[in-house]
Amino acid sequence: MGEGLSASEVGKELTEHAKATEETADSSGRDRIVSIVEALLLATVAVLAAWSGFASAKWSTESRLKLAQASTARTEATRANADANTTKNFDASTFNAWFSAYVAGNQPAMDLAVKRFRPEFKIAFDAWMATNPATNPQAPPGPSFMAEYKLPDLVTADDLDRHADTLYAQGADAGGYADDYVRTTVYLATVLFLIGISGHFRFRAARIGLIGVGSTILVYSVILLVFAPKPPG
């Protein structure tokens, strides 16, 4: 069903209920009291159904927004990760050029390769050279294995991924809240149906029984609405 009972549906039910009670009610005061109680219940359902529908719509919108933001953050994380990989490949190519010159004993080529290093990579390279990799078997395999080697884009990608996970979880929760409000609206629609048909019965006991069942469901619906998360502003 939709996100809530429309005002026209409730208004139609109130009108039909009034006509039915006029046709079936006798002149006793008890029947008039029963009719008043039924009308009050229908009016209460109208207000609660409107609120439940509004809250469901708000949470549904919030869910769509959060999921869209999560998708955007995930796309940005993928882009940042690609940039990090591009940077890492560049660092690897400049280091390979230096290493080839080092193996060949070509100092000018080594100096030229070092000039092509990124400033951030140069820091890691200097730290790696300080470990005496040529003679130290415990030295890391290369500058990229040093703690000083930083890839800001990779850090950004990780942050965006975590942010996307948070937004997705919030969107999923918001969608669940919207479903809960829709479920409550179904209960209210059941109350509307029970009270609506009660006016068509000539037996007061049947009407009172339907009112009792409808009231029980209505109380349960009110409890659900009281403890449900309030819609976002």
First to last CA, the chain: 25
Which pLDDT score is estimated for 177?
Answer: 96
Over residues 202-209, the mean pLDDT reads 82
pLDDT at 229 over 80: yes
pLDDT at 12 over 70: no
Residue 5: band (very low, low, confident or very high) from pLDDT cuts 50, 70, 90:
low
198's enclosing H/E stretch is: helix 152-198
Q: Could you tell me the residue ranges of all domains in the chain? A: 7-227
C-alpha angle with apex 129: 126 to 132, nearest 5 degrees? 155
User: Structure tokens of 170?
Assistant: 């919030």
The tens digit of pLDDT for each residue in 75-96 reads 999 999 999 999 999 999 999 9
pTM: 0.74
pLDDT at 112 over 80: yes
228's enclosing H/E stretch is: none
User: Structure tokens of 85?
Assistant: 């990989």
Query: Which is nearest to 73 in space by CA: 160, 169, 172?
Result: 160
